[in-house]
């Protein structure tokens, strides 16, 4: 529809993240001359004649055939995410967990081993250890950011190293250069779930990581109104993963793709406020007499502060803290006393959310199991939205003192 190349133009100037979030991957002129990309609610795509269908298969023409293999709007979103992350390609999924599952299925077979840091999302750990374990894949968990321990666990069967950065809810930050170098040294694939950081705060591919995974439900879409996930990497690395997605049908719906594209337009603006709110709230909490400890990588007291300062542009909106001397009931009273955040899981939306991890994510664990993974009864996780930071701080102050 236009001779002008899509942004980013490989022969053009380097563009800022905000410009990429608005324009990357989109045609300048769209169907019907619309400003926004159309939503294609079609499961099947037709051909004018049999020869056209033959040409499509023989020449691998860039068009759609069946909704399980792709959607025109989905292709736009994939190009945008790849550009934002600095990758060659991206694959969209129905959720972040389906993206991780698909990657594991495409890269592992019986007898292979996975090594992951023990602060990874509990569902990712469950998926690897319990479910893939049934098919002969062995998973080893090592202490978060302990690279010597991770290296010691590597053997000839190791196929994949996994971590989040930052981790949830302890906000540990991985030294991406050290993590990626372990994979390169031993010829092992590496995956970082960068949902909490987003492409605005870190770009793991630039450090040599093979795959970056996002729950697009969170910061990328940003409005708590859709579900999607994505894997970003090189075209070569993604080819078998994309083929598997066509076989498993883990595709995302067209309306969710539209919401992702719409949310991405304000991505940088939202991330700037999330970063500001997270840091200011963390600083306030650290100074409050009723708070025992704050987990936030933008604080000098955090174990990984130096790594975070060196590798991250900002530190995100998630803040975890411990209420001093409180049991789970007293901690619940603090949560219930807040007026602005809603009580619920997830993060990355424009609205603030608050929860007790022991209740929301680890309710099926007993106390001993929770403490083994660092989940305390007096722990609160606050996902700062984009509200006024002074209002959030005032609300937390009254809740802690109520």
Tell whether 289 and 353 lie within a shared domain. Answer: yes
Compute φ and ψ for 374, nearest 5 degrees. Answer: 80, 20
- Interhelix angle 389-401/328-337, rounded to 10 degrees, is 140
Compute φ and ψ for 189, nearest 5 degrees. Answer: -70, 150
Query: Does the structure show a pLDDT above 80 at 373?
Result: yes
Distance between CA atoms of 97 and 146, rounded to whole angstroms? Answer: 25
Tell whether 235 and 340 lie within a shared domain. Answer: no
Q: Say if 347 falls within a structural domain.
A: yes
Tell whether 306 and 249 lie within a shared domain. Answer: no
Distance between CA atoms of 113 and 254, rounded to whole angstroms? Answer: 36
Interval 3-10 mean pLDDT: 86
- For residue 128, give every residue at least 6 positions away whose Cβ sits within 8 Å of its Cβ, in sequence order, or none: 104, 114, 116, 137, 139, 162
CA 190 to chain centre: 15
pLDDT band with cut points at 50, 70 and 90 for residue 374 = confident
- For residue 366, give every residue at least 6 positions away whose Cβ sits within 8 Å of its Cβ, in sequence order, or none: none
pLDDT of residue 1: 43
Q: Say if 10 falls within a structural domain.
A: no
pLDDT of residue 370: 86
Tell whether 241 and 108 lie within a shared domain. Answer: yes
- For residue 239, give every residue at least 6 positions away whose Cβ sits within 8 Å of its Cβ, in sequence order, or none: none
pLDDT in tens, 197-237: 999 999 999 999 999 999 999 999 999 999 999 999 999 99
pLDDT in tens, 78-122: 999 999 999 999 999 999 999 999 999 999 999 999 999 999 999
- For residue 95, give every residue at least 6 positions away whose Cβ sits within 8 Å of its Cβ, in sequence order, or none: 215, 217, 227, 228, 229
Query: Does the structure show a pLDDT above 90 at 3?
Result: no
Cβ-contact 193, 100 below 8 angstroms: yes
Cβ-contact 257, 287 below 8 angstroms: no
Q: Shortest CA distance to 18 belongs to which of 315, 264, 385?
A: 264
Interval 150-156 mean pLDDT: 98
Q: Total domain count for the chain?
A: 2
Distance between CA atoms of 149 and 352, rounded to whole angstroms? Answer: 36
* Residue 213 region by backbone torsions, left for phi larger than 0, else alpha for psi between -120 and 50, else beta: beta
Tell whether 255 and 274 lie within a shared domain. Answer: no
Distance between CA atoms of 158 and 145, rounded to whole angstroms? Answer: 18
pLDDT of residue 98: 97
Indicate the helix (H) or strand (E) that contains 138: strand 138-142
pLDDT of residue 108: 98
What CATH number does residue 341 fall under?
Answer: 3.90.1150.10
Helices (H), 323-388: 328-337, 357-360, 367-372
Token pair 């990357």 is found at 24
pLDDT in tens, 16-52: 999 999 999 999 999 999 999 999 999 999 999 999 9
Tell whether 76 and 123 lie within a shared domain. Answer: yes
Interval 174-196 mean pLDDT: 98
Parent domain of 340:
267-401
Query: Does the structure show a pLDDT above 90 at 379?
Result: yes
Q: Say if 3 falls within a structural domain.
A: no
* Residue 355 region by backbone torsions, left for phi larger than 0, else alpha for psi between -120 and 50, else beta: beta
Q: Say if 5 falls within a structural domain.
A: no
Tell whether 246 and 273 lie within a shared domain. Answer: no
Task: Kindly state the DSSP code that residue 129 receives in the 8-state scheme.
Answer: I
Tell whether 136 and 23 lie within a shared domain. Answer: yes
Token pair 């990657």 is found at 103
Q: Shortest CA distance to 138 belongs to which of 121, 155, 123?
A: 155
Token pair 């664990």 is found at 365
* Residue 258 region by backbone torsions, left for phi larger than 0, else alpha for psi between -120 and 50, else beta: alpha
Cβ-contact 132, 103 below 8 angstroms: no
Peptide bond into 66 cis (omega under 30): no
pLDDT of residue 364: 75
pLDDT of residue 362: 80
Picking from 264, 286, 318, the residue at the C-terminal end of a domain is 264
Tell whether 210 and 292 lie within a shared domain. Answer: no
Cβ-contact 259, 73 below 8 angstroms: no
Tell whether 228 and 114 lie within a shared domain. Answer: yes
Q: Say if 226 falls within a structural domain.
A: yes
Q: Say if 2 falls within a structural domain.
A: no
Tell whether 83 and 164 lie within a shared domain. Answer: yes
Picking from 219, 236, 264, the residue at the C-terminal end of a domain is 264
pLDDT of residue 316: 98
Helices (H), 294-347: 305-311, 328-337
pLDDT band with cut points at 50, 70 and 90 for residue 5 = confident
pLDDT in tens, 313-367: 999 999 999 999 999 999 999 999 999 999 999 999 999 999 999 998 787 788 8
Tell whether 50 and 193 lie within a shared domain. Answer: yes
pLDDT in tens, 239-283: 999 999 999 999 999 999 999 999 999 999 999 999 999 999 999
Task: Kindly state the DSSP code that residue 88 receives in the 8-state scheme.
Answer: S
Distance between CA atoms of 68 and 251, rounded to whole angstroms? Answer: 6
Indicate the helix (H) or strand (E) that contains 91: strand 89-93
Q: How far is CA 34 from CA 28, 74, 77, in A?
A: 10, 17, 16
């Amino acid at each position: 529809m236009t001779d002008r190349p899509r942004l980013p133009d490989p022969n053009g100037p380097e563009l800022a993240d905000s410009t990429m979030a608005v324009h990357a991957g989109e045609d300048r002129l769209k169907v019907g001359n619309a400003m926004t990309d159309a939503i294609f609610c079609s499961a099947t795509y037709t051909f004018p004649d049999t020869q056209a269908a033959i040409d499509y298969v023989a020449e691998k023409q860039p068009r759609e055939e069946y909704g399980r293999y792709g959607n025109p709007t989905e292709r736009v979103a994939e190009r945008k995410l790849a550009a934002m992350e600095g990758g060659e390609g991206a694959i969209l999924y129905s959720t972040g967990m389906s993206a991780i599952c698909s990657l594991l299925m495409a890269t592992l077979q019986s007898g292979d081993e996975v090594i992951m840091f023990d602060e990874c999302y509990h569902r990712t750990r469950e998926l690897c250890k319990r479910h893939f374990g049934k098919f002969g894949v062995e998973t080893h968990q090592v202490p978060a950011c302990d690279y010597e321990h991770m290296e010691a666990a590597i053997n000839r069967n190791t196929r994949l190293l996994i971590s989040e950065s930052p981790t949830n809810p302890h906000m540990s930050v991985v030294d991406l250069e050290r993590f990626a170098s372990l994979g390169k040294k031993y010829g092992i694939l590496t995956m970082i779930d960068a949902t909490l950081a987003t492409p605005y705060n870190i770009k793991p591919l630039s450090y040599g990581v093979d795959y970056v995974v996002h729950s697009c439900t969170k910061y990328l879409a940003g409005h708590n109104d859709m579900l999607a996930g994505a894997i970003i990497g090189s075209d070569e690395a993604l080819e078998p993963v994309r083929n598997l997605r066509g076989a498993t049908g883990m595709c995302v719906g067209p309306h969710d793709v539209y919401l992702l594209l719409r949310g991405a337009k304000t991505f940088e603006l939202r991330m700037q406020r999330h970063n500001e709110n997270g840091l200011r709230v963390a600083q306030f909490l650290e100074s409050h007499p009723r708070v025992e400890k704050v987990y936030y990588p933008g604080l000098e007291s955090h174990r990984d502060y130096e790594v975070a300062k060196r590798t991250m542009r900002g530190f995100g909106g998630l803040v975890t803290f411990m209420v001093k001397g409180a049991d789970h009931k007293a901690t619940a009273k603090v949560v219930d006393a807040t007026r602005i955040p809603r009580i619920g899981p997830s993060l990355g939306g424009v609205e603030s959310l608050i929860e007790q991890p022991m209740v929301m994510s680890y309710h099926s664990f007993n106390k001993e199991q929770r403490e083994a993974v660092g989940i305390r009864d007096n722990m609160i996780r606050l996902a700062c939205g984009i509200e006024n930071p002074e209002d959030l701080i005032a609300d937390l102050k009254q809740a802690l003192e109520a």
